[in-house]
Amino acid sequence: MVIVMAHNATEADIKAVVKRIETLGFRAHLSRGEERTIIGIIGDERRLAGVALEALPGVEAVLPILQPFKLASRIMREEGTVIRIGDVTIGGDTIQVMAGPCAVESREQLLRTAEEVRKAGARILRGGAYKPRTSPYAFQGLEEKGLEILAEAREMFGLLVVTEVMDPRTVPLVAQYADIIQVGARNMQNFFLLRELGKVDRPILLKRGLSATIEEWLMAAEYILSHGNPNVILCERGIRSFETYTRNTLDLSAVPIVKHLSHLPIVVDPSHGLGKWRFVTPMARAAIAAGADGLLVEVHPSPAEALCDGAQSLTPENFHKMIQEIEKVAAAVGRRI
Protein backbone atom coordinates (compact mmCIF):
# COMPACT_ATOMS: atom_id res chain seq x y z
CA MET A 1 0.00 0.00 0.00
CA VAL A 2 1.31 3.44 -0.87
CA ILE A 3 0.13 6.59 0.83
CA VAL A 4 0.35 9.79 -1.19
CA MET A 5 0.63 12.88 1.02
CA ALA A 6 -0.95 16.15 -0.13
CA HIS A 7 1.37 18.81 -1.56
CA ASN A 8 0.77 20.92 1.52
CA ALA A 9 1.07 18.13 4.11
CA THR A 10 3.24 19.13 7.08
CA GLU A 11 6.06 17.20 8.67
CA ALA A 12 3.72 16.57 11.60
CA ASP A 13 1.17 15.03 9.23
CA ILE A 14 3.82 12.74 7.82
CA LYS A 15 4.99 11.70 11.26
CA ALA A 16 1.42 10.98 12.35
CA VAL A 17 0.88 8.71 9.37
CA VAL A 18 4.10 6.84 10.04
CA LYS A 19 3.14 6.43 13.66
CA ARG A 20 -0.31 5.11 12.78
CA ILE A 21 1.23 2.60 10.35
CA GLU A 22 3.63 1.37 13.01
CA THR A 23 0.85 1.13 15.59
CA LEU A 24 -1.00 -1.16 13.22
CA GLY A 25 2.04 -3.45 13.11
CA PHE A 26 3.55 -2.43 9.77
CA ARG A 27 6.74 -0.68 8.76
CA ALA A 28 6.70 2.62 6.87
CA HIS A 29 9.09 3.58 4.10
CA LEU A 30 9.30 7.23 3.04
CA SER A 31 10.10 8.49 -0.43
CA ARG A 32 10.32 12.25 -0.82
CA GLY A 33 9.65 13.41 -4.38
CA GLU A 34 9.88 16.89 -5.82
CA GLU A 35 6.21 17.66 -5.24
CA ARG A 36 4.97 14.97 -2.90
CA THR A 37 6.07 12.61 -0.20
CA ILE A 38 4.86 9.07 -0.54
CA ILE A 39 4.90 6.46 2.21
CA GLY A 40 5.15 2.77 1.42
CA ILE A 41 3.67 0.29 3.87
CA ILE A 42 5.71 -2.87 4.35
CA GLY A 43 3.61 -5.89 5.35
CA ASP A 44 0.49 -7.76 4.22
CA GLU A 45 -1.85 -4.94 3.24
CA ARG A 46 -4.85 -7.28 3.15
CA ARG A 47 -4.89 -6.91 6.93
CA LEU A 48 -5.56 -3.21 6.32
CA ALA A 49 -8.85 -3.80 4.46
CA GLY A 50 -11.30 -1.25 5.83
CA VAL A 51 -8.72 0.83 7.71
CA ALA A 52 -9.22 4.48 6.75
CA LEU A 53 -5.76 5.95 6.41
CA GLU A 54 -7.33 8.48 4.01
CA ALA A 55 -8.97 10.05 7.03
CA LEU A 56 -5.63 11.17 8.52
CA PRO A 57 -4.75 14.85 8.00
CA GLY A 58 -2.53 15.53 4.99
CA VAL A 59 -3.28 12.25 3.22
CA GLU A 60 -4.34 12.73 -0.39
CA ALA A 61 -4.74 9.16 -1.57
CA VAL A 62 -4.12 5.56 -0.58
CA LEU A 63 -3.10 3.24 -3.41
CA PRO A 64 -3.31 -0.52 -2.89
CA ILE A 65 -0.42 -2.47 -4.35
CA LEU A 66 -1.35 -6.09 -3.75
CA GLN A 67 -4.31 -7.99 -5.11
CA PRO A 68 -6.85 -8.19 -2.29
CA PHE A 69 -7.64 -11.84 -3.07
CA LYS A 70 -5.29 -14.60 -2.00
CA LEU A 71 -6.87 -18.06 -2.26
CA ALA A 72 -8.41 -17.19 -5.63
CA SER A 73 -5.12 -15.86 -7.00
CA ARG A 74 -3.02 -17.67 -9.56
CA ILE A 75 -0.01 -16.74 -7.46
CA MET A 76 -1.26 -19.24 -4.88
CA ARG A 77 -1.65 -21.99 -7.44
CA GLU A 78 0.12 -21.71 -10.73
CA GLU A 79 -1.65 -24.49 -12.60
CA GLY A 80 -5.37 -24.05 -13.19
CA THR A 81 -7.91 -25.78 -10.97
CA VAL A 82 -9.72 -28.71 -12.59
CA ILE A 83 -12.99 -29.64 -10.89
CA ARG A 84 -14.10 -33.26 -11.22
CA ILE A 85 -17.65 -34.53 -10.74
CA GLY A 86 -17.75 -38.20 -11.62
CA ASP A 87 -16.26 -38.40 -15.12
CA VAL A 88 -17.00 -34.77 -15.92
CA THR A 89 -14.17 -32.25 -15.57
CA ILE A 90 -14.45 -28.47 -15.58
CA GLY A 91 -11.31 -26.52 -16.30
CA GLY A 92 -9.48 -29.23 -18.23
CA ASP A 93 -9.15 -29.85 -21.97
CA THR A 94 -12.83 -30.65 -22.39
CA ILE A 95 -15.23 -27.76 -22.71
CA GLN A 96 -18.45 -28.35 -20.76
CA VAL A 97 -21.80 -27.15 -22.02
CA MET A 98 -24.47 -26.61 -19.36
CA ALA A 99 -27.83 -26.27 -21.05
CA GLY A 100 -31.52 -26.22 -20.27
CA PRO A 101 -34.42 -23.89 -19.64
CA CYS A 102 -34.31 -20.72 -17.56
CA ALA A 103 -36.93 -22.18 -15.22
CA VAL A 104 -38.34 -25.63 -14.59
CA GLU A 105 -41.94 -25.07 -15.69
CA SER A 106 -43.28 -28.60 -15.74
CA ARG A 107 -42.12 -32.21 -15.78
CA GLU A 108 -42.86 -32.51 -19.50
CA GLN A 109 -41.01 -29.33 -20.43
CA LEU A 110 -37.93 -30.27 -18.45
CA LEU A 111 -37.68 -33.90 -19.50
CA ARG A 112 -38.11 -33.01 -23.14
CA THR A 113 -35.39 -30.38 -22.92
CA ALA A 114 -33.09 -32.69 -20.98
CA GLU A 115 -33.41 -35.33 -23.64
CA GLU A 116 -32.53 -32.89 -26.43
CA VAL A 117 -29.64 -31.43 -24.50
CA ARG A 118 -28.22 -34.90 -23.82
CA LYS A 119 -28.66 -35.90 -27.45
CA ALA A 120 -26.63 -32.88 -28.56
CA GLY A 121 -23.79 -34.02 -26.32
CA ALA A 122 -24.11 -31.81 -23.23
CA ARG A 123 -23.36 -33.40 -19.87
CA ILE A 124 -24.84 -30.82 -17.52
CA LEU A 125 -28.49 -29.75 -17.28
CA ARG A 126 -29.44 -26.28 -16.07
CA GLY A 127 -32.87 -25.22 -14.80
CA GLY A 128 -34.13 -22.84 -12.12
CA ALA A 129 -36.47 -23.99 -9.36
CA TYR A 130 -36.38 -20.72 -7.41
CA LYS A 131 -37.08 -17.90 -9.83
CA PRO A 132 -38.24 -14.69 -8.13
CA ARG A 133 -37.85 -12.08 -10.84
CA THR A 134 -37.69 -8.30 -11.17
CA SER A 135 -41.47 -8.19 -11.01
CA PRO A 136 -43.29 -9.76 -8.04
CA TYR A 137 -46.15 -10.39 -10.46
CA ALA A 138 -44.12 -12.73 -12.75
CA PHE A 139 -43.71 -16.51 -12.39
CA GLN A 140 -41.63 -17.24 -9.27
CA GLY A 141 -40.59 -20.87 -9.84
CA LEU A 142 -41.77 -24.34 -8.78
CA GLU A 143 -39.42 -24.42 -5.78
CA GLU A 144 -38.90 -27.91 -4.25
CA LYS A 145 -41.16 -29.51 -6.85
CA GLY A 146 -38.77 -28.11 -9.48
CA LEU A 147 -35.79 -29.68 -7.72
CA GLU A 148 -37.50 -33.07 -7.78
CA ILE A 149 -38.10 -32.81 -11.51
CA LEU A 150 -34.46 -31.92 -12.06
CA ALA A 151 -33.41 -34.99 -10.07
CA GLU A 152 -35.69 -37.15 -12.19
CA ALA A 153 -34.13 -35.78 -15.37
CA ARG A 154 -30.68 -36.51 -13.98
CA GLU A 155 -31.58 -40.14 -13.44
CA MET A 156 -33.28 -40.57 -16.79
CA PHE A 157 -30.57 -39.03 -18.95
CA GLY A 158 -27.36 -39.36 -16.95
CA LEU A 159 -26.90 -35.61 -16.71
CA LEU A 160 -25.44 -33.57 -13.90
CA VAL A 161 -27.69 -30.81 -12.56
CA VAL A 162 -26.81 -27.17 -11.93
CA THR A 163 -29.46 -25.02 -10.24
CA GLU A 164 -29.58 -21.76 -8.36
CA VAL A 165 -29.93 -21.08 -4.66
CA MET A 166 -30.93 -17.61 -3.45
CA ASP A 167 -31.68 -18.01 0.23
CA PRO A 168 -29.29 -19.31 2.91
CA ARG A 169 -32.21 -21.24 4.38
CA THR A 170 -32.58 -23.47 1.32
CA VAL A 171 -28.89 -24.27 0.82
CA PRO A 172 -29.14 -27.73 2.45
CA LEU A 173 -32.20 -28.60 0.39
CA VAL A 174 -30.69 -27.46 -2.91
CA ALA A 175 -27.44 -29.26 -2.06
CA GLN A 176 -29.40 -32.52 -1.82
CA TYR A 177 -30.58 -32.22 -5.41
CA ALA A 178 -27.85 -30.30 -7.24
CA ASP A 179 -24.46 -31.44 -8.50
CA ILE A 180 -23.38 -27.83 -8.93
CA ILE A 181 -24.99 -24.94 -7.03
CA GLN A 182 -25.40 -21.67 -8.87
CA VAL A 183 -25.18 -18.19 -7.33
CA GLY A 184 -26.97 -15.65 -9.50
CA ALA A 185 -25.61 -12.27 -10.52
CA ARG A 186 -27.88 -10.45 -8.05
CA ASN A 187 -26.46 -12.52 -5.18
CA MET A 188 -22.77 -12.27 -6.00
CA GLN A 189 -22.27 -10.16 -2.88
CA ASN A 190 -24.91 -11.83 -0.71
CA PHE A 191 -22.24 -12.53 1.85
CA PHE A 192 -24.30 -14.67 4.22
CA LEU A 193 -25.22 -16.91 1.31
CA LEU A 194 -21.57 -17.11 0.23
CA ARG A 195 -20.54 -18.13 3.73
CA GLU A 196 -23.06 -21.00 3.73
CA LEU A 197 -21.81 -22.14 0.34
CA GLY A 198 -18.29 -22.18 1.72
CA LYS A 199 -19.37 -25.02 3.99
CA VAL A 200 -21.11 -27.13 1.35
CA ASP A 201 -19.66 -30.15 -0.44
CA ARG A 202 -20.68 -29.09 -3.94
CA PRO A 203 -18.92 -26.98 -6.58
CA ILE A 204 -20.33 -23.46 -6.82
CA LEU A 205 -21.04 -21.69 -10.10
CA LEU A 206 -20.56 -18.02 -9.20
CA LYS A 207 -22.07 -15.57 -11.67
CA ARG A 208 -20.53 -12.14 -12.01
CA GLY A 209 -22.61 -9.31 -10.56
CA LEU A 210 -24.31 -6.90 -12.95
CA SER A 211 -21.77 -4.19 -12.32
CA ALA A 212 -19.04 -6.09 -10.51
CA THR A 213 -15.42 -5.45 -11.31
CA ILE A 214 -13.31 -8.54 -11.86
CA GLU A 215 -11.60 -7.86 -8.56
CA GLU A 216 -14.92 -7.79 -6.66
CA TRP A 217 -15.96 -11.00 -8.38
CA LEU A 218 -12.75 -12.74 -7.33
CA MET A 219 -13.29 -11.38 -3.80
CA ALA A 220 -16.75 -13.01 -3.79
CA ALA A 221 -15.04 -16.26 -4.80
CA GLU A 222 -12.57 -15.64 -1.98
CA TYR A 223 -15.50 -15.63 0.48
CA ILE A 224 -16.47 -19.13 -0.60
CA LEU A 225 -12.88 -20.40 -0.72
CA SER A 226 -11.96 -18.92 2.65
CA HIS A 227 -14.97 -20.60 4.27
CA GLY A 228 -13.76 -23.99 3.14
CA ASN A 229 -15.08 -24.84 -0.32
CA PRO A 230 -12.25 -24.93 -2.90
CA ASN A 231 -14.46 -25.62 -5.93
CA VAL A 232 -15.65 -22.38 -7.49
CA ILE A 233 -16.49 -21.98 -11.18
CA LEU A 234 -16.76 -18.37 -12.33
CA CYS A 235 -19.46 -17.47 -14.86
CA GLU A 236 -19.36 -14.32 -17.00
CA ARG A 237 -22.96 -13.41 -17.90
CA GLY A 238 -22.79 -9.85 -19.15
CA ILE A 239 -22.40 -6.57 -17.35
CA ARG A 240 -24.61 -3.53 -17.34
CA SER A 241 -23.61 -0.77 -19.74
CA PHE A 242 -25.35 2.12 -21.48
CA GLU A 243 -26.25 -0.09 -24.46
CA THR A 244 -29.99 -0.71 -24.71
CA TYR A 245 -30.17 -2.99 -27.75
CA THR A 246 -29.12 -6.02 -25.72
CA ARG A 247 -30.05 -7.08 -22.20
CA ASN A 248 -26.44 -6.87 -21.00
CA THR A 249 -22.99 -6.37 -22.49
CA LEU A 250 -21.16 -9.70 -22.55
CA ASP A 251 -17.61 -9.02 -21.37
CA LEU A 252 -15.53 -11.74 -22.97
CA SER A 253 -12.33 -10.01 -21.95
CA ALA A 254 -13.13 -11.36 -18.49
CA VAL A 255 -12.08 -14.79 -19.79
CA PRO A 256 -8.36 -14.17 -20.42
CA ILE A 257 -8.17 -11.74 -17.49
CA VAL A 258 -9.57 -14.28 -15.01
CA LYS A 259 -7.24 -16.90 -16.48
CA HIS A 260 -4.33 -14.53 -15.83
CA LEU A 261 -5.28 -13.48 -12.31
CA SER A 262 -6.83 -16.67 -10.98
CA HIS A 263 -6.55 -20.45 -11.16
CA LEU A 264 -10.32 -20.95 -11.11
CA PRO A 265 -12.20 -22.20 -14.18
CA ILE A 266 -14.48 -19.78 -16.03
CA VAL A 267 -17.54 -20.39 -18.17
CA VAL A 268 -19.64 -17.97 -20.21
CA ASP A 269 -23.42 -17.48 -20.38
CA PRO A 270 -24.17 -15.90 -23.78
CA SER A 271 -27.93 -16.26 -23.25
CA HIS A 272 -28.14 -13.73 -20.41
CA GLY A 273 -25.20 -11.84 -21.84
CA LEU A 274 -27.13 -10.88 -24.96
CA GLY A 275 -30.77 -11.56 -24.15
CA LYS A 276 -31.56 -12.41 -27.78
CA TRP A 277 -31.26 -15.98 -29.07
CA ARG A 278 -30.03 -14.78 -32.47
CA PHE A 279 -26.66 -13.73 -31.04
CA VAL A 280 -26.06 -16.69 -28.72
CA THR A 281 -24.20 -18.91 -31.19
CA PRO A 282 -21.66 -16.35 -32.46
CA MET A 283 -20.90 -15.29 -28.90
CA ALA A 284 -20.60 -18.92 -27.82
CA ARG A 285 -17.99 -19.40 -30.56
CA ALA A 286 -16.18 -16.28 -29.40
CA ALA A 287 -16.22 -17.39 -25.77
CA ILE A 288 -14.53 -20.66 -26.67
CA ALA A 289 -11.97 -18.84 -28.82
CA ALA A 290 -11.23 -16.51 -25.91
CA GLY A 291 -10.40 -19.52 -23.75
CA ALA A 292 -13.56 -20.23 -21.75
CA ASP A 293 -13.83 -23.61 -20.03
CA GLY A 294 -17.50 -23.98 -20.77
CA LEU A 295 -20.85 -22.44 -21.61
CA LEU A 296 -24.17 -21.95 -19.86
CA VAL A 297 -26.91 -21.82 -22.49
CA GLU A 298 -30.68 -21.55 -22.30
CA VAL A 299 -32.61 -24.11 -24.36
CA HIS A 300 -36.38 -24.43 -24.43
CA PRO A 301 -38.56 -26.72 -26.53
CA SER A 302 -40.87 -23.81 -27.36
CA PRO A 303 -39.30 -20.45 -26.54
CA ALA A 304 -42.39 -18.39 -27.34
CA GLU A 305 -44.29 -20.24 -24.63
CA ALA A 306 -41.53 -20.09 -22.01
CA LEU A 307 -42.52 -18.53 -18.68
CA CYS A 308 -39.07 -16.99 -18.37
CA ASP A 309 -36.40 -15.72 -20.77
CA GLY A 310 -37.96 -17.11 -23.91
CA ALA A 311 -36.42 -14.40 -26.07
CA GLN A 312 -32.94 -15.64 -25.31
CA SER A 313 -33.59 -19.38 -25.45
CA LEU A 314 -32.40 -21.58 -28.28
CA THR A 315 -34.70 -24.18 -29.76
CA PRO A 316 -33.27 -27.71 -29.57
CA GLU A 317 -32.55 -27.45 -33.29
CA ASN A 318 -30.54 -24.27 -32.92
CA PHE A 319 -28.76 -25.74 -29.92
CA HIS A 320 -27.61 -28.69 -32.04
CA LYS A 321 -26.25 -26.28 -34.62
CA MET A 322 -24.45 -24.29 -31.94
CA ILE A 323 -22.71 -27.43 -30.69
CA GLN A 324 -21.53 -28.21 -34.22
CA GLU A 325 -20.10 -24.74 -34.63
CA ILE A 326 -18.29 -24.60 -31.29
CA GLU A 327 -16.77 -28.02 -31.85
CA LYS A 328 -14.76 -26.55 -34.72
CA VAL A 329 -13.67 -23.53 -32.73
CA ALA A 330 -12.71 -25.72 -29.78
CA ALA A 331 -10.49 -27.80 -32.06
CA ALA A 332 -8.89 -24.59 -33.39
CA VAL A 333 -7.79 -23.68 -29.86
CA GLY A 334 -6.68 -27.20 -28.97
CA ARG A 335 -9.70 -28.31 -26.97
CA ARG A 336 -12.74 -30.53 -27.42
CA ILE A 337 -16.42 -30.51 -26.49
When asked if residue 168 is in the footprint of a second copy (CB under 8 A), the reply is: yes
When asked if residue 121 is in the footprint of a second copy (CB under 8 A), the reply is: no
Q: Which CB sits closer to a second copy, 86 or 242?
A: 242
Q: Which stretch binds a second copy (CB under 8 A): 36-44, 80-88, 110-118, 121-129?
A: 36-44
Q: Which stretch binds a second copy (CB under 8 A): 32-40, 82-90, 121-129, 148-156?
A: 32-40
First to last CA, the chain: 44
Q: How far is the CB of 97 from a second copy (least distance, A)?
A: 16
Tell me the C-alpha to C-alpha distance, in Å, between residue 122 and each of 80, 82, 103, 116, 324: 23, 18, 18, 9, 12
Which of 12, 19, 75, 106 contacts a second copy by CB under 8 A? 75
Binding residues among 264-283 for a second copy as defined by CB under 8 A: 273-274, 276-279, 282-283
The dihedral formed by the CA atoms of 80, 82, 83 and 87, expressed in degrees to the nearest 10: 170
Site string for a second copy, 190-229 (x = CB under 8 A): xxx--x-------------xxx-xxxx--x--xx--xx--
d(CA 120, CA 320): 6
When asked if residue 92 is in the footprint of a second copy (CB under 8 A), the reply is: no
Tell me the C-alpha to C-alpha distance, in Å, between residue 304 and each of 114, 169, 212, 283: 18, 33, 31, 22
- CB contact set of 235 (below 8 Å; sequence gap of 6+): 182, 205, 206, 207, 208, 266, 267, 268, 269, 296
Q: Which CB sits closer to a second copy, 137 or 155?
A: 137
Exposed/middle/buried for 20, CB within 10 Å: 0-12, 13-18, 19+?
A: middle
Q: How far is the CB of 200 from a second copy (least distance, A)?
A: 16
Q: Are 98 and 296 in contact (CB under 8 A)?
A: yes
When asked if residue 55 is in the footprint of a second copy (CB under 8 A), the reply is: yes
Binding residues among 100-119 for a second copy as defined by CB under 8 A: none
Q: Could you tell me what percentage of the chain is helix, strand and coil, using 3-state DSSP and rounding each to the nearest 5?
A: 40, 20, 40
Which of 86, 155, 242, 336 contacts a second copy by CB under 8 A? 242
When asked if residue 304 is in the footprint of a second copy (CB under 8 A), the reply is: yes
When asked if residue 157 is in the footprint of a second copy (CB under 8 A), the reply is: no
Q: Which CB sits closer to a second copy, 29 or 321?
A: 29
